Chain A
């Protein structure tokens, strides 16, 4: 679609305005939807922020007092979720009709603003996006929760506020998170560490399903999540947006805002954005009791400065994420007996009350990222992109118990401290399109240093330094209805770990290195404008992580004794997937299947003899390797039953099996079905984008679980109901978007298999969420220079 757009209106360019003397011309016209041909009402049209108007109910607009010469019109919907720009030459009083790609009826589609064509980097893998109104509905949720509306995507949780995304049953360091183009590196610390990303920076979340190692590097066996910010403004402006979210459960409040602009004249080409989010939540509540000490707070900010000339772009981005998360008091276990005792208690053994204060049993997380990106476009020879990124991840975990050692209490030394600093460089050359072939070549290099400090014997992750490098080529051949994609990649990784011999108090080190090749072959065939099939075969790999190699000790939060294995080899995955997509105005569907076979898959194997220590008896697990596979089916469709009423249905089925020991795999999501019925109206009186949705989700019980790997059997399946309502309206001249949703409408008591706190507590009860969004312009739009 974007391709068509760029072919038809290939002349989108950024125009620098010149001051003209005669300024009394008019521009009139009508705006149509480029697909349906319908007239588009309430489209905001902006000329250089000096002239702003809205189309009327039949799509007409008019401007007066325009000067001669070229002008750029920026079209956006009221939410400013999607926009497009067009250039018109004013020679006289002019009448022009425009056909726009802006989709008011398609809640999850957005057309990328700007003068750069965003290339789809791996086309043949299935991609699902959350953007536009769909992302508005997730505001206030964590990243892991935001993605759950996509088929095949789950989240693995540790209590109500720690949620990690899971794609086709894989999570943690088997999937990659790209935060504004940079790999988020702190995911190998374990499953109770949520991604350090403020979802408010994103206007688009993309999930790439399947082995995308070829483009994004080793580890991406399960898939990739792209968190993409909004493009910076492309015309002179100074504007912003204010968001606020409030929930009844947890009595949480979020405010998030950004300001952005672009200069002209002497500073032409310079654009910027400042963004920040504050979040505070108190103890969450299950249908019958509060989860004591689950309060949390977050403060995040980011800034972008971008300079572009015709051929050169420089982009500097800095972001900071800071959060403190309380850990549910009722989940504190010293050993397996405690865990089973809590599991068998009908009510929590800790008092239930509401509070915003965070007591001991909490973690603080800091993530700072600096990214510098430079891009040079050659006249007829493609482009070079260089990205340097430095990220510092820090985590402090404070246990429930207070030390007897007063100096530790006074210095507030955490029970566990993790620090991971990563520097990375990426160089990508996109060569010029030669005939039907396009493609890119890339090099990357990165180095990491990890430091762990702990109280007592808790060296789960050793200190280490690693260096890794990779090189890839990805080529695409396009002709008529076909696209064929072919890629190859080589990666090398070296790591030196530093550990201590506690009896001798000496440090010793051990070196490891791994290398491997990845490859992909994929294709797309477009039957018609609406129907296409994409299939892909990919080979990816993942070296063992330090915890898998060197763990030795009690994993306190899991009440288990974990033993690493220094002889582990790399995992290698062979991933096949095929998706059939049909998308038309009133009916669309997507059906796809995948088969991901992984050799040397690393997992925790239960040992027969438990470990006895003074603090009790622990089941023991050893990291070991096996040949496994994950297979499944993603199916979704939406259908306009009658005008304004749409039915949507999404199903995710998954089956995972360990071939080596003929058993199932632990933590595999159970089958899930979501259905919804939506009433929607583009415009109604003074409102636009009005919708009212009732949805249900059915999650079945996971019965395919391995023997002796879990302490209790998986919880029963459950059925939940949700309501969502949203609209945008004009208050005086101000656009305001409002969204109200109710989750767990029936206040159902349930537990979820993918929440590690299923041993200790029920899931959250009913929750009302109100979201308000106010875009604003700082420059007075009626002012004439």
Chain B
């Protein structure tokens, strides 16, 4: 009698296990079949444009462009227009433009960055012979209690020496850590131009 009950229970037990497993296996939703396209958290930065306006001759404007329409992959960027030619002994107003050209029409991300100027810092670095012949001063400010430069608007001053070198532009994301220096945060954009003073 007792052993019968016993067997009943184990049968019941096995049945429960079987049902649970069947349910669990059959109920798997095949979530993986749907591949969600990446959500654009931020516009993709594809293009950095620098606009140079001669301060003493506003009709003298030039653009330099660094472009990579397939960000985050191995394809090399388009640097054919990443060349800047400046005149010696001249002051330039230099504006930074950052675009997403994966979209049509392209979106301008510059205003978003300016809006969040308290978290961003754009700075230029020079290397090579131009280093001693080019002075760069940022002219725009964020809205921190002690305002810091954002670096999207600048003044470039060349001296009388003809030289060439590299200009590096870096956009740093400095959430809650911005202190007016380059150090905090991480680089969101970091590209090189060739710069000639003629």
Contact = CB atoms under 8 A, between A and B. Distances in A.
Interface string B1-32: 00000100110011001001100110011111
A464 B32 contact: yes
B68 interface: yes
A408 B74 contact: no
A662 interface: no
Interface string A546-578: 000000111000000101000000000000000
Given A374-B13, A413-B39, A611 B6 contact: no
B20 A614 contact: no
Given A404-B109, A456-B41, A616-B189, 5 more contacts: A309-B9, A335-B187, A360-B175, A374-B14, A561-B74
A425 B32 CA distance: 21
A516 to B, nearest CB: 24
Contacts of A359: 176
B173 interface: yes
Contacts of A390: 24
B127 to A, nearest CB: 13
A686 interface: no
Most chain A Cβ neighbours within 10 Å, of B34, B175, B186: B186
A341 B183 contact: yes
B36 A453 contact: yes
26 contacts: A314-B17, A334-B187, A386-B17, A388-B17, A402-B175, A405-B41, A405-B42, A415-B41, A423-B24, A423-B28, A449-B30, A451-B32, A453-B39, A455-B39, A455-B40, A456-B44, A458-B72, A462-B35, A463-B31, A502-B37, A507-B34, A611-B74, A614-B66, A614-B189, A615-B71, A620-B74
Interface in A593-635: 611-617, 620
Interface stretch (A344-352, A644-652, A732-740): A344-352
B67 to A, nearest CB: 9
Given A386-B17, A390-B24, A349 B74 contact: no
Contacts of B17: 314, 372, 374, 386, 388
Given A421-B28, A613-B68, A312 B41 contact: no
Contacts of B116: 404
Interface residues of A, number: 72
Interface in A333-361: 333-335, 337-338, 341, 345, 349-351, 359-360
A458 B9 CA distance: 52
A78 to B, nearest CB: 37
A334 B173 contact: yes
B68 A405 contact: no
B46 interface: yes
Contacts of A415: 41
B190 A617 contact: yes
B190 A334 contact: yes
A337 B127 CA distance: 15
Contacts of A360: 175
Contacts of A454: 38-39
Given A311-B10, A360-B175, A425-B21, A457 B28 contact: no
Interface of A: 309-312, 314, 329, 332-335, 337-338, 341, 345, 349-351, 359-360, 372, 374, 376, 386, 388, 390, 400-405, 408, 413, 415, 419, 421, 423, 425, 447, 449-451, 453-459, 462-465, 498-500, 502, 505, 507, 552-554, 561, 563, 611-617, 620
B35 A332 contact: no
A334 B42 CA distance: 15
Given A341-B183, A388-B20, A614-B189, A404 B35 contact: no
Contacts of A376: 10
Given A419-B31, A456-B44, A616 B187 contact: yes
A463 B32 contact: yes
Contact of A613 (B39, B77, B173): B77
Contacts of B62: none
Contacts of B71: 457, 613-615
A390 B172 CA distance: 44
Nearest to A464: B32
B31 A612 contact: no
Contacts of A554: 72
